[in-house]
Structure 1
Amino acid sequence: MIEKKYSILQFMSFGELNKWNVDPVRSNMFHNVRYPTYQLKNILKRRKDLVKVEDDKLYKRITIRQYGLGVYLRDEVYGRDIGTKRQFIAKKGQFIISRIDARNGSFGVVPEELDGAIVTNDFWLFDVYEANIKYLMLLLSSSTFQEYWQKKSNGTTNRQRVDETDFLNSKIPLPTLVEQDRLVGNYYNTIQVAENNEKEALRTEENVDRIFSEELGIIDILADKEDPKYRFISFSKLSELSRWDLWNKKEELFSSKFKFTTFETIIKGAPMYGANEKATKKNSDVRYIRITDINEDGSLNENFVSAKNVDSKYLLKDNDFLIARSGNTVGKTLLYKEEMGKSIFAGYLIKYVLNVEKVIPEYVFYYTKSKLFKRWIISNQRIFGQPNINGQEYLKFPILIPPISSKNSNEVTQEKIVGKVSEMKEQIKKLRRNAVDLRQLANKQFEDGIFFEN
């Protein structure tokens, strides 16, 4: 008997219909799966353990991060401060879904520390049967299923809810428990390698700080003081004070090899604040660099925007040095390079022109990524309102400047430090790139193990 293949027509029994709408029917059909499909209602059992909220009782409440990033404590509040008095008790190990943000991956497993927490009816709680809950999490997080959930959601753009009946009638591919365990095991083995790469990147970053401390002969005076009185009181000469406020803290650092100088001794000209222009979609080849466009490692992200108006005085030149002056990222730095493309910079950034006769630009850049600079930032930012350090204040930040180069191979130089740090930065970049690739590979292998290519 010849088996008929239908590429245009699809069939389903009348009993499986719950809405007179073609989209739910189409989106419910997984034709490219390697395993039998079962309705979620055969795997998940909704739990509605009702609780009446009492005014004088303290309750834990739950929040679910999007994209499968976990279930966490939202807050702990007394019942008198909770508006909805009819809520439901969550139990550890239950599968929980936010019906509002299910399409964005807001689901997870209730952890032990949230056993007994309460949720409203916008959160669904399920006991799981005949399925590895980790398999279920990975499957529902997959790009294939996320596309399906987008079709299933209804409501306004930001408040789209998934219908419970639709959800439970949905079919998912369900291998045997042994096969589920294998798929999950392969996924987490790859993820473990990715995490090992990330840990190694962090260790390498710590080694970068160690290079500065060892090469520059840094001694942390405060850490070396054994006299108990220094734990509570520190002393400064009046001539050493640079600010008249509570947060003026003298750096308790000393170098056994070099003398601290200030940033103003290695720059040319005065600090320059950036353009006060509105960002627009890309409309020219001139990029408008804002604080948010600078990654923590000093690279630029992919969010290319233009300025409404481009004033040539803000155009950056090779080796111009930018420092963020305000906000939670105060002290973030960028060493501009011509290969970054033609650019101007925004008003919350300050530009300095480095004196290349005194410093290697990369040395200054790496120095500002070290704990030496970050420690100074914490000690000197004004914290009324948004953290802030202005252009003149940055001129006073202390920096150690070894000679640029030397014929003596044993002498500490900027060239030597830049060489070592650059090599480590490349290792860090490679490790993090590998970690990203491995995470993507883990997802692809999991999905390829379940779905055929369309």
Structure 2
Amino acid sequence: MLESTSHKYLDFVRFPELYNWSVQYLNDSKIRFNKKYPLVRIGEFLTRNKTAVTIQDEPVYQRVTIRVRNGGVVPRDEVKGANIGTKKQYVISSGQFILSKIDARNGAMGIIPESLDGAIVTQDFLAYDIDRTRINPQYLVLISTTKQFIDFCQSCSSGTTNRQRVDEAKFLSIRIPLPSLDEQNRLVKDFNNIMTFIKMEEMKVIDIEVKAVVAVREALGVALYPGYTEEQLIRLTNYAAIDSWSVPKILLAGHSPFGESKYKCKKLSELAFINPRTDLSMLNDTDEMSFIPMEDISDDYGEWQNKKIGKKADVKGYTKFQNGDIIWARITPCMQNGKSALLSNLINGKGYGLRGIKPNV
């Protein structure tokens, strides 16, 4: 739909572009790419391929699935024909562009790899031959990963919440910027070079992290791979080290998860107050506090992200904490992911949210 510069409450659309009489569709169909390149309908270089096949009982068929958020076309399973309920299926070929009618709104589309040439799909998948004289398939994939493109696929879908299907005619009416083939090739090459650079930098970061862990363990005299114990039929432990009559806990009594170290190990309870009481008496119910839900603690760096604000009146049912506290998740899988952080700069010095162990050191 064309935007008017002279009318505040009116939009205009050219009749040749009037693919649907729905006002919502026409408003949502504005893919906001810049005008550096001409906009061309996808239907001009994609041709639907409907190579039907009737499933026989004895052969084994390769089926595929398409991951959402542009995760690519991947194998689903190999099934004997007798175990396939829908006997009318469609054969796909490598190099085709394919999308899921149900999950196109979630970015389920991509190029069929050579390894899946000859696989089968149901009518809920749309496969297209690509006019490679007009568009580089990888350029098409890059365009389809943009938020604008995914949002438009959402507007092209209708049906119940979990079973919305994209309307093919509307999908083929999407117009995307189409530079020359040489320019497309250059853009794809530049993108691939950037992604290669990013992967190399990520490998450098991983290497630094590993070296840092090794350096810390060596400084503490801790085994690099702690926790290994030989099988024993009888194990003895000091009575003073028994905290409960649980056999698993007795077997671990007195042992550090870090293995042997040149330094004496102490219990965490000897070094910190576990879940100490946080005094909020000086605050009114309307006073602001920091709100820290589980997802706002970084798995990687132990940082508090996305500084959210709550009120004292909302703290019921949550763990409360204050500046200087270390919070640590005790709910799986957050605990295994290492969600923990040292808190500072809390609003009014207080916060609430993350349900977990709260050592105050």
Smaller-chain TM-score bracket: 0.7 to 0.9
Q: Distance in 2 between matches of 1:30 and 1:292?
A: 31
Q: Which residue of 2 aligns with 1:199?
A: 203
Greater fraction helix = 1
**Is the Cα–Cα contact under 8 Å of residues 94 and 126 in structure 1 kept in the other structure?**
yes
Asked if residue 325 in structure 1 is aligned to residue 330 in structure 2, the reply is: yes
In structure 1, which of residues 289, 292, 298 is the aligned counterpart of residue 292 of structure 2? Answer: 289
Of the structure 1 ranges 179-188 and 300-309, higher mean CA displacement relative to structure 2 is found in 300-309
Amino acid at match of 2:292: I
| Residue 323 (structure 1) shift | 2.4
Amino acid at match of 1:300: W
In structure 1, which of residues 344, 356, 363 is the aligned counterpart of residue 352 of structure 2? Answer: 344
Q: Distance in 1 between matches of 2:136 and 2:345?
A: 49
Which of 1 and 2 has higher RCO (CA within 8 Å, sep 6+)? 1
- 1:47-66 matches, within 5 Å, as 47-55=49-57, 57-66=59-68
Q: Distance in 1 between matches of 2:266 and 2:353?
A: 28
Relative to the length of structure 1, the TM-score reads: 0.61
Q: Which residue of 1 aligns with 2:259?
A: 253
| Residue 115 (structure 1) shift | 3.2
Cα separation, partners in 2 of 1:145 and 1:197, compared to 1, 3 Å: same
- 1:174-253 matches, within 5 Å, as 174-220=178-224, 233=231, 237-239=235-237, 244-245=247-248, 253=259
Relative to the length of structure 2, the TM-score reads: 0.75
- 1:40-439 matches, within 5 Å, as 40-55=42-57, 57-129=59-131, 130=133, 131-220=135-224, 233=231, 237-239=235-237, 244-245=247-248, 253-255=259-261, 257-268=262-273, 270-271=274-275, 285-296=288-299, 297-302=301-306, 304=308, 306=310, 309-310=314-315, 314-331=319-336, 332-341=338-347, 342-347=350-355, 349-354=356-361
Aligned-pair identity in percent equals 31
Q: What secondary structure, in the 3-state scheme, does the structure 2 residue paired with 1:50 have?
A: strand
| Residue 239 (structure 1) shift | 0.9
Q: Deviations over 1:127-179 (max 9, x none)?
A: 21121111101112223333433333333444332211222233333222111
Q: Deviations over 1:251-308 (max 9, x none)?
A: 58323x323333233223x55699xxxxxxxx97334434333220222342847587
Q: What secondary structure, in the 3-state scheme, does the structure 1 residue paired with 2:345 have?
A: helix
| Residue 32 (structure 1) shift | 4.7
Q: Distance in 1 between matches of 2:69 and 2:216?
A: 39
Cα separation, partners in 2 of 1:132 and 1:261, compared to 1, 3 Å: same
Q: Deviations over 1:329-370 (max 9, x none)?
A: 2253423423144312454x112222xxxxxxxxxxxxxxxx
Aligned length: 331
| Residue 211 (structure 1) shift | 1.9
Q: Distance in 2 between matches of 1:222 and 1:267?
A: 24
Amino acid at match of 2:88: R
Q: What secondary structure, in the 3-state scheme, does the structure 2 residue paired with 1:218 have?
A: coil
Q: Deviations over 1:380-430 (max 9, x none)?
A: xxxxxxxxxxxxxxxxxxxxxxxxxxxxxxxxxxxxxxxxxxxxxxxxxxx
Q: Distance in 2 between matches of 1:247 and 1:117?
A: 55
Of the structure 1 ranges 238-247 and 98-107, higher mean CA displacement relative to structure 2 is found in 238-247
**Is the Cα–Cα contact under 8 Å of residues 290 and 307 in structure 2 kept in the other structure?**
no
